[in-house]
């Protein structure tokens, strides 16, 4: 069997065996395939699909194309969470220390911003000295001693995915559920997880806007991860408005620290973070009762334990030891702060969430090209949630910008993004389904 034969069989709609898939991924990892062959394989999968067994085999082959981490000495369940991305989604920053405070170990491999969605690593790099690429010894020590560490993907974790994704990105084959599934899970499972929780976003600020598409992706991710031996569940969550009341990098770090200090109780952000935390505790076998699991999550905030873990993680990765106490002394602050005022009175009934994410990029808080430099200080804060009653002239949000021209442009984007109606909209649950 050769890679050419693997391509031909998938092109003709045949199911590939684990050995055939492993052969192709090995050849890809060894740089034995041309760009054309990789593109042909991706297109064949895009058009013909893969069954669950094939997708499990592809995920495992990509996982095993590089180093698979082990935290056997941690003495605690090893778990993680992955989000498909949204605007103002800074859940990872709070969830990892919350779970560590509950007795789990969370070796969280995170990414940068993708499209209109923000990236956890970009947010963490707002912190002076924070090292997103520590050596293996430091990473393992932090996970063992602190309970969590949030870092970036290293070159030796699922390297096959990096090359395959680069080809998919330029051949219109990104939107393939089997390829998306294998791409996400190969990197996560390379962290040596015992369990995983997935947050699949749905709405006008997510990559998936259709509920059937989001559900199909969630089902695929859950089935394949479990088929690969990692206990996994997923939540479908609403992304029809920014999840946090901030969008940007340093502004979301400030939001994170406020959350850990107990200042964001009763918000949609708390609801999603607690729901995901409860799932992690249930999947890890630490707790069997869902209500009790949620209360354990909230207790880590009320007691200050999660905040303490976050501070220790930041310092352990090179950040300031007193970041939590002296946030404004360390995090960058934009030169211009401009309030966005409501143009009418009524109820906030809709917001074009994707436009908010793109406006962060326009301000300089995200990348259009991989080489772009990020301004970590810019973004938005103080978003009012949908359903809020406002009077004309009330502040809807605050723009953080480097100059007045970009601030004015961002203000107009926010004004155009909000719809103010006479009647209050029907409230929507933030957690839509569990799979």
* Distance from C-alpha of 382 to C-alpha of 243, rounded to nearest angstrom: 12
**DSSP-assigned states of every residue in 54-80:** HHHHHHHHHHTTS-----TTS-S-BEE
Place of tokens 């709070």: 94
Q: Is 333 a catalytic residue?
A: no
* Options 29, 55, 59, 83, the catalytic residue: 83
* Options 63, 76, 81, 264, the catalytic residue: 81
Note whether 408 and 335 are within 8 A (CB). Answer: no
* Options 123, 187, 268, 400, the catalytic residue: 187
* Options 116, 188, 298, 315, the catalytic residue: 188
* Options 63, 168, 201, 215, the catalytic residue: 168
Note whether 164 and 38 are within 8 A (CB). Answer: yes
Q: Is 81 a catalytic residue?
A: yes
Residues 6+ apart with CB under 8 A from 414: 340, 356, 359, 380, 396, 397, 399
List the beta strands (DSSP E) in 2-122.
79-83, 106-110
* Options 63, 64, 65, 80, the catalytic residue: 80
Q: Beta-carbon neighbour count of residue 378 at 10 Å?
A: 30
Q: Is 162 a catalytic residue?
A: no
* Options 63, 82, 312, 400, the catalytic residue: 82
What is the per-residue burial (b if ≥16 Cβ within 10 Å, else e) of 79-93?
Answer: bbbbbbbbbbbbbbb
* Options 120, 195, 232, 417, the catalytic residue: 120
Q: Is 219 a catalytic residue?
A: no
Q: What are the phi and psi torsion angles at 399 (to 5°)?
A: -90, 135
* Options 55, 173, 183, 230, the catalytic residue: 183
**DSSP-assigned states of every residue in 131-176:** -SS--HHHHHHHHHHTSEEEEEPPTTSSHHHHHHHHHHHTTT-S--
Q: Is 82 a catalytic residue?
A: yes
Q: Is 83 a catalytic residue?
A: yes
Q: Give CA 362 to chain center in angstroms.
A: 21
Note whether 282 and 434 are within 8 A (CB). Answer: no
Q: Give CA 377 to chain center in angstroms.
A: 20
Q: Is 80 a catalytic residue?
A: yes
Structure tokens at 400: 């953080």
* Distance from C-alpha of 268 to C-alpha of 61, rounded to nearest angstrom: 38
Structure tokens at 252: 């979301």
Torsion of CA 225, 230, 236, 237, to 10 degrees: -130
Q: Give CA 237 to chain center in angstroms.
A: 12
* Distance from C-alpha of 385 to C-alpha of 268, rounded to nearest angstrom: 9
Residues annotated catalytic, as ranges: 80-83, 120, 168, 183, 187-188
């Amino acid at each position: 069997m050769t890679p050419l034969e693997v391509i031909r069989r998938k092109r003709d709609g045949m199911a590939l065996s684990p050995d055939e898939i492993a052969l192709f991924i090995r050849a890809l990892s060894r740089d034995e395939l041309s760009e054309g062959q990789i593109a042909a394989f991706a297109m064949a999968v895009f058009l013909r699909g893969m069954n669950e067994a094939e997708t499990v085999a592809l995920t495992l082959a990509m996982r095993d194309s590089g180093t698979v981490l082990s935290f056997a000495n941690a003495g605690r369940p090893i778990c993680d969470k992955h989000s498909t991305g949204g605007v103002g989604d800074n859940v990872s920053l709070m969830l990892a220390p919350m779970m560590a405070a509950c007795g789990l170990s969370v070796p969280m491999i995170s990414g940068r911003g993708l499209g209109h969605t923000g990236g956890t690593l970009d947010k963490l790099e707002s912190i002076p000295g924070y090292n997103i690429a520590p050596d293996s010894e430091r990473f393992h020590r932090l996970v063992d001693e602190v309970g969590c560490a949030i870092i970036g993907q290293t070159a030796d974790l699922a390297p096959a995915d990096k090359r395959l994704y680069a080809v998919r990105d330029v051949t219109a084959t990104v939107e393939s559920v089997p390829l998306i599934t294998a791409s996400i899970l190969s990197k996560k499972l390379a962290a040596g997880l015992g369990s995983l929780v997935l947050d699949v976003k749905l709405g006008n600020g997510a990559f998936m806007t259709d509920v059937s598409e989001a559900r199909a992706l969630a089902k695929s991710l859950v089935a394949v991860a479990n088929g690969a031996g990692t206990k996994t569940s997923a939540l479908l969550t609403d992304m029809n408005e920014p999840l946090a009341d901030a969008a940007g990098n340093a502004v979301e770090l400030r939001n994170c620290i406020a959350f850990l200090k107990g200042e964001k109780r009763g918000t949609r952000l708390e609801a999603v973070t607690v729901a995901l935390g409860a799932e992690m505790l249930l999947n890890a076998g630490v707790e069997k009762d869902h209500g009790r699991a949620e209360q354990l999550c909230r207790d880590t905030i009320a007691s200050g334990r999660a905040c303490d873990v976050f501070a220790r993680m930041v310092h352990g990765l090179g950040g300031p030891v007193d970041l939590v106490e002296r946030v404004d002394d360390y995090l960058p602050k934009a030169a211009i702060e401009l309030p966005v005022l409501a143009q009418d009175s009524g109820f906030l009934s809709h917001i074009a969430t994707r436009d908010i994410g793109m406006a962060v990029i326009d301000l300089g808080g995200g990348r259009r090209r991989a080489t772009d430099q990020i301004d970590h200080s810019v973004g938005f804060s103080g978003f009012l949630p949908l359903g809020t009653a406002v009077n004309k002239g009330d502040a809807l949000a605050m723009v953080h910008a480097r100059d007045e021209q970009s601030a004015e442009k961002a203000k107009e984007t926010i004004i155009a993004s909000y719809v103010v109606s006479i009647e209050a909209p029907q409230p929507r649950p933030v957690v839509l389904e569990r799979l």
